Amino acid sequence: MKIALAQINPTIGALAANAEKIAAVAQQAAAAGAELVIFPEMAIGGYPPRDLVEKTDFVAASRSWLEWASRQAPSTAILCGCATPAAAETGKSVHNSALVLKNGELLFQQSKMLLPTYDVFDESRNFAPAERQRVWEWGGLRLAITICEDAWNDKHFWPQRHMRRLYAQDPVADQLRQGADLLINISASPYSHGKMGVREEMLGAIAREYQVPVLLVNQVGGNDQLVFDGSSLVLGPMGELRARLHAFAEDWMVLDSSDWQGLVRARPAQEIEAAYHALVLGTRDYVRKCGFSRVLLGLSGGVDSAVTAAIAVAALGAKSVLGVAMPGPYSSQGSLADARQLAVNLGIALEEVPIGPGFAALNGMLAPWFAGLAPDVAADLTQQNLQSRLRGMVLMAGSNRLGALLLSTGNKSELAVGYCTLYGDMAGGLSVISDVLKTEVYALARHINREREIIPRATLEKAPSAELKQDQTDEQDLPPYEILDQVIRDYIEEYRTAEHIAARRNLALPLVRGLIQRMDRAEHKRQQAAPGLKISKKAFGMGRRFPIAQQYETLASANARELEPAAAPAGGRN
């Protein structure tokens, strides 16, 4: 039997457009001889649909449009993810299902059993789990059809990686014990650092354990904060790679079940290249799926805005990107020159809007209110924040007037410790690099410059600075980014204690405690930040839920403070 793997890029809720995409690929695959075309999890409605599935008309329309798509390629069956009504009288009213249809008629249905509720996933909120798993016979094969998480609970693989299994059930084992010849997994598995390799290793372990071929069809594209890499694949019964589709692009392929041999398409060899492609794809899809055709961003002459601008150009084209330079009283001529050169290198338009007159006017307005107050740290921060917020106002004015989406340019290191200004440099509709640590921003810059100089060398060589006061540099307020980023990884992504981090990284304990305190206190900023694209194991945003008003400290830290007070957190913008 000839089976096609078809990874597509659906838009959440765009049922008609998604159905047309499914129909078009099914027609092409049928013309190539495919008897079954496999699409990703929830492909008709897009993933994650979140509370859209609470709307009964969305669920009914999803099924109707999928039936329509199937009728457009009547000679082949399609296997596709779809929200379906749950028949149980108690619990949730919707299943996350895999439907097999031919010419609009339902041949088989299997719903998802394991519903993830961790990190970015919250499926138990919306879906009811399947009560049982069945094998489907088609074309002389017994097919085990699973949906994403159903395959992520192997009893041997995860303990070997010193990770705990999350569920008592094992849908894969249940189905393969029924004598399945082939395991199919339709997925919406989002990208993060190292995820493609883990996915392949895990499915390879299952193939070897049960000695059956494994087919994965994964969604591709950006939906809100998540980026899906595709990278659909076929593994032989010994776990060997037989075929793989492109990463970060729509793709499809027809294979014969007699040998499962296909093409191994190229994918990024290095993680930084994969991260770059994820950010480009996520930016393109967020902008276009939200209905925008243009973006603008502030160009400071620094590396963060330079990398963001380069990603935007790669995603949307130079004509769709506008840079805005906003020199202030402490901006250096070198930074303005770097912003101009970047615009030339990228081929984008650049507007220059000095904020000096506005800054002077605001100070005049506020002078009567603040008269008589002695100069102090608060006064210094107020002056810095006024400049940042003026720039935010300029950029939002441009966004309103031009109908362009504003991209904010802050990185994960700044967002972690609150080294950013609410309603200032945090303003925007999408924060492109908010899950990219500062050290990774420089790595991305080097990747962008791999063939020619796009980001000016001076931008990469000068000390990072917000330029909000005289001779300011980031390291006056923060430790070197090489140190800060290590602490952020350990604390934010691994939940390590201050004592563990200090010992592991050979850092002074008061320094680590002070940084952790800053990270905890900055939660109120992060929950007001623009949505950001997730590329790490743990990003700020939908996958990380912490209270703002909280005062928790680990017992070890609390006891240690009695003997050695933690360093007071340094001042920062707010």
pLDDT digits (tens, 9 = 90+) for 401-452: 999 999 999 999 999 999 999 999 999 999 999 999 999 999 999 999 999 9
Question: Has 82 been annotated as catalytic?
Answer: no
Q: What is the mean pLDDT of residues 37-46?
A: 98
Highest mean pLDDT among 121-135, 148-162, 252-266: 121-135
- Of 244-248, 320-324, 374-378, the one with minimum mean pLDDT is 374-378
pLDDT for residue 553 is more than 90: no
pLDDT digits (tens, 9 = 90+) for 245-280: 999 999 999 999 888 888 887 666 689 999 999 999
Q: pLDDT confidence of 147, banded at 50, 70, 90?
A: very high
Q: pLDDT confidence of 560, banded at 50, 70, 90?
A: very low
Q: What is the pLDDT of residue 373?
A: 87
Q: Where are the domains of the chain?
A: 2-259, 276-474+529-549
Question: Has 319 been annotated as catalytic?
Answer: no
Q: What is the pLDDT of residue 481?
A: 94
Q: pLDDT confidence of 573, banded at 50, 70, 90?
A: low
Q: Percent helix, strand, coil in the chain (nearest 5)?
A: 40, 20, 40
DSSP track, 29-57: HHHTT-SEEE--TTTTT-S--GGGGGSHH
Question: Has 469 been annotated as catalytic?
Answer: no
Q: pLDDT confidence of 562, banded at 50, 70, 90?
A: very low
CA–CA dist 226, 122 (Å, integer): 14
pLDDT for residue 471 is more than 90: no
The alpha carbon of 373 is separated from its chain's Cα centroid by a whole number of angstroms, namely: 45
Catalytic residue among 112, 525, 534, 538: 112
Token reading at 216: 């994965």
Q: What is the pLDDT of residue 554?
A: 54
pLDDT for residue 567 is more than 50: no
Q: What is the pLDDT of residue 561?
A: 47
pLDDT for residue 139 is more than 90: no
Q: pLDDT confidence of 564, banded at 50, 70, 90?
A: very low
Q: pLDDT confidence of 572, banded at 50, 70, 90?
A: low
Tally of CB atoms within 10 A around 476:
11
pLDDT for residue 566 is more than 50: no
Domain 2-259 homologous superfamily, CATH: Carbon-nitrogen hydrolase (3.60.110.10)
For the entire predicted model, the pTM comes to 0.93
Q: What is the mean pLDDT of residues 225-242?
A: 95
CA–CA dist 518, 508 (Å, integer): 16
For residue 48, is the peptide bond before it cis, meaning its omega torsion is within 30 degrees of 0? Answer: yes
pLDDT digits (tens, 9 = 90+) for 472-510: 787 788 999 999 999 999 999 999 999 999 999 999 999
Q: What is the pLDDT of residue 157?
A: 87
pLDDT for residue 569 is more than 70: no
Catalytic residue among 82, 148, 412, 438: 148
pLDDT for residue 81 is more than 70: yes
The answer to whether 350 touches 343, Cβ cutoff 8 Å, is yes
Q: What is the pLDDT of residue 350?
A: 98
Q: What is the pLDDT of residue 376?
A: 85
Q: What is the mean pLDDT of residues 219-245?
A: 95
Domain 276-474+529-549 homologous superfamily, CATH: HUPs (3.40.50.620)
pLDDT for residue 334 is more than 70: yes
Across the chain, mean pLDDT equals 92
| DSSP 8-state class, residue 491 | I
Q: Higher pLDDT residue, 563 or 196?
A: 196
CA–CA dist 453, 513 (Å, integer): 40
Q: What is the pLDDT of residue 268?
A: 64
Token reading at 57: 């008309």
CA–CA dist 186, 477 (Å, integer): 48
Task: Please report how many Cα atoms fall inside a 13 Å half-sphere around the Cα of residue 268, on the Cβ side.
Answer: 20
Q: Where on the phi/psi map is residue 7: left (φ > 0), alpha (ψ -120 to 50), or beta?
A: beta
- Residue 381: enclosing H or E segment and its boundaries? helix 377-402
| DSSP 8-state class, residue 492 | I
Residues in the chain: 574
Catalytic residue among 35, 41, 123, 553: 41
pLDDT digits (tens, 9 = 90+) for 5-23: 999 999 999 999 999 999 9
CA–CA dist 491, 512 (Å, integer): 10
pLDDT for residue 556 is more than 60: no
Q: Higher pLDDT residue, 475 or 36?
A: 36
Tally of CB atoms within 10 A around 294:
17
Q: What is the pLDDT of residue 574?
A: 67
